[in-house]
Amino acid sequence: MSRDHGVPNIWSGYDPSPYPPQDTSPQYGNSDMMMQNGGNMQQYQMGGEMQQDQTNYWNPHTQVQYNMPVTGYAPNTFYPAPSAAPQYYQPQVQVQIPQPIQQHYPIDQRPLQHRVQSSSNIAMGQINSQVSHPKPPIAPLNYPLLMVSLAEEYFGAAHELAPSVAVAMTEENVHEYHKLITVGLECLTIALKQLKLPARLEARVRLRMAGIIYEETNNYAEAEGMLSQGILTCESNHYHDLKYVMQFLLARLMFQKNPKASMKTLDSHISDAQAYHHNSWVYVFRFLRATHALQSGTSTDNHAAIQNLRSVSGLAIQQSDHSVHIVASLMEALAHLKSSGVYGIEHVQRAIAAARTYQLDIKSSIPQLIGLTHILDVICSILRGDPAQMLSTLRAMQVVMDDLLKNQAWSMENDTLAIPIDSVHKVKHLINQDTRNVLSMREDGRGQIVMSFLNKKDAYALTYLLSGIVLMHKNPLDQKAVKFLQEGLSRLKGDGSRGIKPSPGRLSEIIAKQQWRGHILCYSHIYMAFCCAVVGDWARVKQSMAYMATAAENFEVPLSGRLGTLTFYLEGVYLQGTGDLKAALKVFQSEMLQLPEPNDSHLEDQIERDIAILAALNVLLILQDENWQDPLENFTLISKLEPYCVNHPNKDIQTAFSLIRATVRTSTSAMITKPKTTCPQL
């Protein structure tokens, strides 16, 4: 439910598709298309170079302007892409948009093997009617569905073009993509404002427009107004399925502007769905509520996320929706990983154990969730710092992932995850084509929640990184960790680089995948540098740092947060290792690596806090040099570190702090006043 990969947004980018897949037969594709609006003929050419005299695509006095972001794109997989490539592709049909006060005339829609007759040809046909067979009556053209179909052609052409745009993010390419999206939106605007639509079709058009505007532009106010009007239409006509989808999208939209208002609104939607016993939508709203709370980052919101996930688990067990229970438990484990408490890791392990309760059930055996369970188990063991446990969980993960490699249920390309709902038979009328990007029906009759997840390639890249980290901790001198990191890097560069053209899709979705792979590349280069630092190969450390900087630039990965903190700490390690103690001390004592205040109410990231602890320990080591000795500063820094290190869940940090405290020199008066009972037992 984010575009950030620190805590992944588990919901796929919502792009509601209120229409079934449109016919792409030659009825709309084998004759040149000219779109007449107000007497001005405009021609649209998709994917290729536009003709020089084609500067306007519709009447500028009626054009709706959409502010397109440069990089703020969002995934939209609701509509299947056209089967034909978009290069030099033209939606082809000759129509005249009717004006409200004009007389409408029926248009011949006979099969394509009959050419559309001109007025003179029709007269000739009347002369020969005595010898020809009777012709069926001419049906009028369905203008609303025609404009909707034309809009989907433009959206599909843009999504076909997106992979090429993502490879070369030039201003011209991005403009071409946005132009196709804008023309598609204009087609929907014409259908909504100039044509009389049935109530349900009007609601579906509003939902589709709001989804595109929200995902592809920055006009959140227009999307919000579109959804508000659509919700009123749904309530007056009892379209509960469309209303729930609109409320879901509106909550996501509100979160961009006012997170607290969004979460409060979701609480209201949860209560309404519970009152009607629409449990499938209770799951959906609670998952979204938990995701928003986790993204907020405060201790209060983190606790609220855990409570919502536990409510989902309880309802899922009551309704025998075991797969939903597994997802809720794994999300709870992710929430506890963000916790700064001493017992956070124990809560993570408890949540993982709850997730494993029903994984032996055949109906609940989902390969993606099995793999995620083992990945979280390895991460938890790394945070604890227990070498035996790390090796045990790593071997288990490697065995399971090797088995899952043969499982066809986990796609190598698809980034969605379908969670079965066994109790959906009670509310099947709330799940249909209009809700299929959030809730859909399976072939076996069960419902399913659609979420975003890693494909198999990306998951394996992550496991190579974790294997390198664990083996580096076991024995950094044998360089086994380097082999795993190098293998992971080669796979990422081969499968996820910008040189490989991704599958068609929304531009934002493709860019998000590339940036995620860029993050993994950066972390792999960083840990490669740490492996080289252990053996004193400072030339390779510098080389790995340069590779990391290049990957961050190529994939537009911001060096902020935990990645930026770890990169800055690595720079200090390199300076200390090469003997530039003054520069290293400046890095370790910088504001970025300062320990947080104990009374800080904001939920500090545990990784960033641990890196700050390591930086302070490095400062203590540097201060033992004869040119930098300061016993009083040593005592002050040890006193500041003690609350963080004595009861730290990672045994390595406890051991490192105890060794340094026992060896550094402090002032005599400070040592006398220091209580001896605070020394931990090794």
Among the residue ranges 73-87, 125-139, 507-521, 578-592, the one predicted with the least confidence is 73-87
Residues 473, 606, single domain; the answer is no
Residues 309, 166, single domain; the answer is no
Of 261 and 475, more confident: 261
Q: What span, in angstroms and rounded, lies between the C-alpha atoms of 459 and 520?
A: 11
pLDDT digits (tens, 9 = 90+) for 144-200: 889 999 999 999 999 999 988 988 888 999 999 999 999 999 999 999 998 889 999
What is the per-residue pLDDT for 600?
A: 53
What is the per-residue pLDDT for 681?
A: 36
Q: Answer for the pair 516, 492: CB distance below 8 angstroms, yes or no.
A: no
Of 496 and 310, more confident: 310
User: What average pLDDT does the segment 380-399 reach?
Assistant: 91
Residues 479, 376, single domain; the answer is no
Strands 35-37 and 95-96: parallel
DSSP 439-481: EEE-TTS-EEEEEE---HHHHHHHHHHHHHHHHHHH-GGG-HH
Q: Is the confidence at residue 31, as pLDDT, over 60? A: no
Q: Is the confidence at residue 86, as pLDDT, over 90? A: no
Q: What span, in angstroms and rounded, lies between the C-alpha atoms of 488 and 492?
A: 6
Residues 482, 604, single domain; the answer is no
Residues 275, 159, single domain; the answer is no
CB atoms within 10 A of CB 450: 21
Q: Is the confidence at residue 231, as pLDDT, over 90? A: yes
Q: Is the confidence at residue 37, as pLDDT, over 80? A: no
User: What average pLDDT does the segment 598-611 reach?
Assistant: 68
**For position 347, which CATH number holds?**
1.25.40
Residues 465, 485, single domain; the answer is yes
User: Does 111 reside within a domain?
Assistant: no
User: Does 57 reside within a domain?
Assistant: no
What is the per-residue pLDDT for 615?
A: 95
Residues 435, 334, single domain; the answer is yes
Token pair 């049935």: residue? 198
Q: Answer for the pair 74, 509: CB distance below 8 angstroms, yes or no.
A: yes
Could you tell me the pLDDT band of residue 82, with boundaries at 50, 70 and 90?
very low
Q: Is 122 exposed, middle or buried (0-12, 13-18, 19+ CB in 10 A)?
A: exposed
What is the per-residue pLDDT for 627?
A: 80
Residues 309, 249, single domain; the answer is no
Could you tell me the pLDDT band of residue 24, with boundaries at 50, 70 and 90?
very low
Residues 394, 335, single domain; the answer is yes
Residue ending a domain, choose from 435, 452, 469: 452
User: What average pLDDT does the segment 535-550 reach?
Assistant: 95
Closest residue by Cα to residue 2 from 469, 568, 452, 621: 452
Could you tell me the pLDDT band of residue 58, with boundaries at 50, 70 and 90?
very low
Could you tell me the pLDDT band of residue 266, with boundaries at 50, 70 and 90?
very high
What is the per-residue pLDDT for 71?
A: 41
Read off the pTM.
0.75
3-class state of residue 404 by DSSP: helix
User: Does 129 reside within a domain?
Assistant: no
Could you tell me the pLDDT band of residue 561, with boundaries at 50, 70 and 90?
confident
Q: What span, in angstroms and rounded, lies between the C-alpha atoms of 7 and 628?
A: 41
Most confidently predicted of 46-60, 125-139, 472-486? 472-486
Residues 567, 552, single domain; the answer is no
H helix or E strand, kind and range, residue 554 = helix 538-554
pLDDT digits (tens, 9 = 90+) for 342-382: 678 889 999 999 999 888 887 788 999 999 999 999 999 99
pLDDT above 70 coverage of the chain, percent = 74
Length of the chain: 682
Residue ending a domain, choose from 257, 285, 305: 257
User: What average pLDDT does the segment 477-499 reach?
Assistant: 78
Q: Is the confidence at residue 78, as pLDDT, over 60? A: no
Strands 439-441 and 447-452: antiparallel
Alpha helices in 319-444 (DSSP H): 322-337, 344-355, 367-384, 387-404
Query: What's the distance, Cα to Cα, between the start and end of the chain in Å?
Result: 44
- Crossing angle between the packed helical segments 367-384 and 344-355, to the nearest 10 degrees: 160
pLDDT digits (tens, 9 = 90+) for 624-667: 888 888 888 888 899 999 988 988 888 888 999 999 988 887 76
What's the DSSP call for residue 36? Answer: E
Residues 437, 385, single domain; the answer is yes
Most confidently predicted of 106-115, 122-131, 172-181, 338-347? 172-181
User: Does 621 reside within a domain?
Assistant: yes
Q: What span, in angstroms and rounded, lies between the C-alpha atoms of 425 and 122?
A: 55
Backbone angles phi, psi at 37, to 5 degrees: -140, 110
Cα 216 to its chain centre, rounded Å, is 15
Q: Is the confidence at residue 79, as pLDDT, over 80? A: no
96 beta partners: 36
Among the residue ranges 7-11, 170-174, 427-431, 514-518, the one predicted with the least confidence is 7-11
Among the residue ranges 19-23, 221-225, 413-417, the one predicted with the least confidence is 19-23
User: What average pLDDT does the segment 271-289 reach?
Assistant: 95
Could you tell me the pLDDT band of residue 100, with boundaries at 50, 70 and 90?
very low
Buried-state track 630-644, b at ≥16 Cβ within 10 A, e below 16: ebebbbebbeebbeb
How many structural domains comprise the chain? Answer: 4
User: Does 510 reside within a domain?
Assistant: yes
User: What average pLDDT does the segment 396-415 reach?
Assistant: 90
DSSP 112-179: TTSPPP-HHHHHHHHHGGGTSPPPPPPPPP-HHHHHHHHHHHHHHHHHHHHHHHHHS--HHHHHHHHH
Q: Answer for the pair 613, 565: CB distance below 8 angstroms, yes or no.
A: no
What is the per-residue pLDDT for 143?
A: 85
Q: What span, in angstroms and rounded, lies between the C-alpha atoms of 441 and 428?
A: 8
Cα 243 to its chain centre, rounded Å, is 24
Could you tell me the pLDDT band of residue 430, with boundaries at 50, 70 and 90?
confident
What is the per-residue pLDDT for 297?
A: 77
Of 606 and 604, more confident: 606
Residue ending a domain, choose from 257, 285, 316: 257
Q: Which residues contact 403 (CB under 8 A, 6 or more apart)?
A: none
User: What average pLDDT does the segment 20-47 reach?
Assistant: 37
3-class state of residue 420 by DSSP: strand
User: Does 303 reside within a domain?
Assistant: yes
Residues 289, 407, single domain; the answer is yes
Among the residue ranges 58-72, 157-171, 566-580, 659-673, the one predicted with the least confidence is 58-72
Q: Which residues contact 120 (CB under 8 A, 6 or more apart)?
A: none
Domain that holds residue 393: 258-452
What is the per-residue pLDDT for 598?
A: 62
H helix or E strand, kind and range, residue 662 = helix 651-663
What is the per-residue pLDDT for 664?
A: 84
Q: Is the confidence at residue 142, as pLDDT, over 90? A: no
What is the per-residue pLDDT for 85?
A: 40
Closest residue by Cα to residue 489 from 550, 536, 542, 533: 550
Q: Answer for the pair 522, 557: CB distance below 8 angstroms, yes or no.
A: yes
Q: Answer for the pair 677, 632: CB distance below 8 angstroms, yes or no.
A: no
User: Does 115 reside within a domain?
Assistant: no
Closest residue by Cα to residue 371 from 421, 409, 335, 342: 409
User: What average pLDDT does the segment 558-580 reach?
Assistant: 94
Of 54 and 572, more confident: 572
User: Does 132 reside within a domain?
Assistant: no
Mean pLDDT value across the chain: 79
Token readout for 527 is 């840990």
